Amino acid sequence: MLAEIPLFARLSGRHLNKIARVATTKRYAVGSPLVRAGGPANAFYVIFDGRARVDTPDGGIELGAGDFFGEMALIDGEPRSATVVAVTELYVMVLSRTKFLKVLEAEPKIALAIMATLSRRLRAAQQAEAL
Ligand code: CMP
């Protein structure tokens, strides 16, 4: 399953196995909040199946299979920047804070892919703000 996630696409089988060993899979019912704005941050999430909504000031952003969330507060040590809710039944891969930070240190390709997505999201937020 991990090999089909674009974030992990460029990793070798050995590296994928390493991540699979430390990750868990969770299911959330429709409407479940996975992450609460202002709350503490313990985990990073990658969506295997289903859709989630990030509540942003400009109305919200939908995320689907292959998308990830929950990286910001783990990287900068601040509280969660937004609430994220399951829009459909949702299956996610969960990495604890410690494991996520270890993966970032060990896998520069993943760190770069996350930075690329962060840059895209910042550009989209800037455009939304300019409207
Ligand atoms: P974090 O702050 O840990 O928890 C909320 C998450 O929502 C955040 O990490 C990002 O993964 C995601 N998020 C916050 N703002 C946006 C945005 N403007 N676009 C896409 N995702 C976002």
In angstroms, rounded to a whole number, what is the distance separating the alpha carbons of residues 9 and 41?
Answer: 26
121 CA → ligand 1 middle, Å: 9
**Weakest-pLDDT range from 35-39, 57-61, 111-115:** 57-61
Nearest one of 76, 68, 81, 83 to 36, comparing CA atoms: 83
Please state the atom number of ligand 1 nearest to the C-alpha of residue 81. 2
Output the pLDDT for position 130: 85
Does residue 76 contact residue 40 with C-beta atoms inside 8 Å?
A: no
Per-residue pLDDT tens for 58-101? Answer: 789 999 999 999 999 999 999 999 999 999 999 999 999 999 99
Q: What pTM was estimated for this model as a whole?
A: 0.95
126 CA → ligand 1 middle, Å: 14
